[in-house]
Amino acid sequence: MQFSNFVRTFNAHSGAKELMEDMSCNPPGIDSVHRLGGGNPAIIPEVAELFRAELAKIASNPGRFDRMASTYSEPLGDARLREILADLLRDEYGWRLTSKNIALTSGSQLGFYFLFNLFGGAGPGGKRRRIIIPLCPEYIGYQGLLANKNDVVSRRSDIRKLPNRQFKYGLRMDGLEDVEDMGAIVVSRPTNPTGNVIRQSELARLDEVARARKAPLIVDNAYGLPFPGMIYVNAAPQWNENTILTMSLSKIGLPALRTGIVVANEEVTEILGRINALTQLAVGAAGAALAAPLLKNRELLRISRDLIRPFYQRKVTEAVGLCHEALSICDYYIHKPEGSMFLWLWFPGLNDNRALYRRLKARGVMILSGSEFFPGLRAPWTHSRECIRINVCGDADMVFGGLRIIGEEASRLQARAA
Ligand SMILES: Cc1ncc(COP(=O)(O)O)c(C=O)c1O
């Protein structure tokens, strides 16, 4: 069959597709799998119970059921959720916004597809506009969203070693203000894969640089505040008319309901509404139906603060301890975990994290190769072949078992490369 050039965007290797496949299947011949790969959130019993109870209320209330399942929502997404969320963000953070500043998308990943294409690629007069990733490694899902892969550009970070085999990437601002073809700057905060939380002052600098180029600063808040709240250092979310803040219901435990949230100025949300209508008529309303009452009575903030954040913080802290026990046979560093549900491990001299990924998969340990987290990095950087990401949500024995095998295979590859 003859496809149009549209297919080119989707034909290249995609880390996102590999990760989604890995999450749902077992490597052949392996019964017991150590699932340290994709980004499925944990099922926290008290949280799941809250959602089930809300669903039961919807099922027994014809009005609420019809609203969720039997009527299309408006192009910007369920009006009730957007109004409640606007109230909440105004009350909590003092932001001057209304429901018109909020657009829903079918998962924030789709929101990123729209936003990258709105701000990256050919602009007026055919001039290229690029999506700038100032702190790399960055989220795997920013790769491959644009037809021309050169329209996404990453900049190397500084590496700062810390005590106790930890390290931290630092944002390099030098030369950023000279980037003339900047279409948007994008950062995830907390960063997936590293758990880095860039500082308020750094966000303010990025905002300044972006404004000077008439470009938005896109802040991906999938793990941030006020929900799911997976931030373990002092930080507050930021928003202004030049910031596009994306949020998601996925990491509070509803990834299958595909509900993404974009908070932006009305020019941006209005366009997103048009794209929603054109591409899908309306965004599914199940996530909104469950979340709206829990946002109205602030239950979602309470569970984020009292259940979700402590759960993941404990998991991350526990996993750091397990790494020290299981990885002592190789040379390793752990990125300082300031947020999210991942650990980012660096094995200096490893040289081939794709090979490590394959060896581990063959032994039933699912991880993500760090090489997938450098979207748009042009210049070679050995470091991009030395890291992996693990999801630490699972049971401690499973994580420990996986880490031991990671240690064995990483030390073999390190010895071979030496
Ligand atoms: C940083 C980040 N942004 C966006 C997404 C997309 O999330 P969703 O499409 O489920 O809302 C994810 C998912 O893992 C993520 O980690």
Ligand 1 centroid – CA 108 distance (Å): 6
**CB distance 262 to 113 below 8 Å:** no
Q: Indicate the Cα dihedral angle 303, 307, 310, 313, nearest 10°.
A: -90
The CATH class that applies to domain 14-46+304-417 reads: alpha beta
Residue 131 clears pLDDT 80, i.e. is over it: yes
Residue 187 clears pLDDT 90, i.e. is over it: yes
Which residues, at least 6 apart from 318, have a Cβ–Cβ distance to it below 8 Å? 392, 396, 399
Whether the CB of 228 sits within 6 Å of ligand 1: no
Closest residue to atom 15 of ligand 1, CA basis: 222
**Domain boundaries, given as residue ranges, for the chain:** 14-46+304-417, 71-301
Residue 179 clears pLDDT 90, i.e. is over it: yes
Closest residue to atom 1 of ligand 1, CA basis: 192
Neighbours of 173 (CB within 10 A): 14
Ligand 1 centroid – CA 109 distance (Å): 6
d(CA 48, CA 146): 36
Which residues, at least 6 apart from 214, have a Cβ–Cβ distance to it below 8 Å? none
Confidence tier at 214 by pLDDT (50, 70, 90):
very high
Predicted structure pTM score: 0.97
Q: How far apart are the first and last CA of the chain?
A: 48
**CB distance 19 to 140 below 8 Å:** yes
Closest residue to atom 5 of ligand 1, CA basis: 109
- Give the nearest ligand 1 atom to 248 CA: 11
Ligand 1 centroid – CA 204 distance (Å): 23
Considering just the CA atoms, what is the radius of gyration of the chain in Å? 21
β-pair type (342-346, 333-335): antiparallel
d(CA 67, CA 41): 27
Ligand 1 centroid – CA 370 distance (Å): 17
Q: Does domain 71-301 have CATH number 3.40.640.10?
A: yes
Range list of β-strands (E), 310-415 = 333-335, 342-346, 365-366, 368-369, 387-391
Ligand 1 centroid – CA 258 distance (Å): 10
Residue 348 clears pLDDT 80, i.e. is over it: yes
Whether the CB of 38 sits within 6 Å of ligand 1: no
Would the CATH topology of 14-46+304-417 be identical to that of 71-301? no
Whether the CB of 73 sits within 6 Å of ligand 1: no
pLDDT tens digits, residue range 38-90? 888 999 999 999 999 999 999 999 999 999 999 999 999 999 999 999 999 99
Give the mean pLDDT of the chain.
96
Whether the CB of 248 sits within 6 Å of ligand 1: yes
d(CA 318, CA 201): 30
Ligand 1 centroid – CA 83 distance (Å): 23
Ligand 1 pocket test, pick from 23, 131, 192, 194 with the greatest ligand atom count within 8 Å of Cβ, gives 192
The predicted pLDDT at position 16 comes to 86
Ligand 1 centroid – CA 416 distance (Å): 36
Confidence tier at 170 by pLDDT (50, 70, 90):
very high
Lowest mean pLDDT among 52-61, 120-129, 209-218, 303-312: 120-129
Query: Which of 356, 355, 361, 320 is CA-nearest to residue 337?
Result: 320
Residue 241 clears pLDDT 80, i.e. is over it: yes
Residue 24 clears pLDDT 80, i.e. is over it: no
